[in-house]
Amino acid sequence: MTLDGGEPIGIVAGGGDLPLRLAQGARAAGRPVFILGIEGWADPDAFGEWTHGFARLGAGRSMLDQLRAHGCRQLVIAGKAKRPSLTAIRPDAVTARALAKIGAAYFSGDDGLMKGIIRFLAEEGFEVLPVHGVLHDVLPGHGPLGDALPDAQARADIARGIAVVRALGSVDVGQGCVVQQGMVLAVEAIEGTDAMLARAATLRRDGPGGVLVKLTKPGQDRRVDLPAIGPQTVAGALAAGLRGIAVEAHGTVVVDRDPMMHVANQAGLFVIAIKPDEFNEETKP
């Protein structure tokens, strides 16, 4: 997949700042941009300077018509979202057809659902690009992102976290967990990372703080729903008394890296991008 020059790019936008970052990156690459905000997720006041529209989640015909009307063939799906119940979607005929094609995948985890959505969009003539197909610097390489480094206890907690997140991912449940001194304080499910960190804050034990581990799911389609961290993640980690964050190198979106790492460095919080397959071997005596 390539970021073809000149052709409009559609950004199907949930909440947060990432859709706007994508719009800026696409414009810098010479691409006209149309932002399609999902009602209830995207901020209705965020896209004033951009060509944009809105649609409710179940209004598939409106979504496809707006994207086509603005000449969008390539799409990026990004931003914070809360998965609704099937009854809350109120599907129109197009959405009902999409749900029929997606089938049982709707009732699986987010990766299974998103794979089904991508297949449906491909049948409708759209190509879904990954976030890093537009913003080439958002996936960190292997190594520390800031000044602090994990000690032996933190590395052991990271290794434990890798095993836990891999187990969650194998059943398409979540992408993160919090581990302190070998104890799993919280795992991520439908509530998302911020809520998980808030819950972990109520469960922390005395002694050295824990770590947040975020990884892609095994076999995950990397065009959508990659794990992500940003300044809000660091703030949540600090509020939970954590000592650090470990994310998958080349597999985690880092939003607003410079301000995020300024706060992390000031607080002595480590943020490190790891290779999960190799990390467990590195921690063996």
CATH number at residue 44: 3.40.50.20
For residues 23 and 58, state if they share a domain.
Answer: yes
What pLDDT is attached to residue 109? 67
Total domains in the chain come to 2
Question: Per the domain annotation, does 1 fall within a domain?
Answer: no
Across 92-120, average pLDDT? 81
For residues 148 and 129, state if they share a domain.
Answer: no
pLDDT band at 273 (very low <50, low <70, confident <90, very high): very high
Residue 268, by phi and psi: left (phi above 0), alpha (psi -120 to 50) or beta?
left
For residues 151 and 204, state if they share a domain.
Answer: yes
Find out whether 31 and 8 touch, Cβ atoms under 8 Å. Answer: yes
pTM of the entire predicted model: 0.89
Q: What is the pLDDT of residues 18-53, one digit of tens each?
A: 999 999 999 999 999 999 999 999 998 999 999 999
For residues 113 and 153, state if they share a domain.
Answer: no
For residues 155 and 43, state if they share a domain.
Answer: no
What pLDDT is attached to residue 113? 81
Place of tokens 């719009």: 23
Better-scored residue on pLDDT, 29 or 6: 29
What pLDDT is attached to residue 285? 45
Instruction: Examine the pLDDT at 283 and tell me if it is beyond 60.
Output: no
pLDDT band at 150 (very low <50, low <70, confident <90, very high): very high
Residue-range definition of the domain harbouring residue 113:
9-133
Instruction: Examine the pLDDT at 1 and tell me if it is beyond 50.
Output: no
Percent of the chain at pLDDT > 70 equals 94
Residue 161 C-beta-side C-alpha neighbours within 13 Å: 34
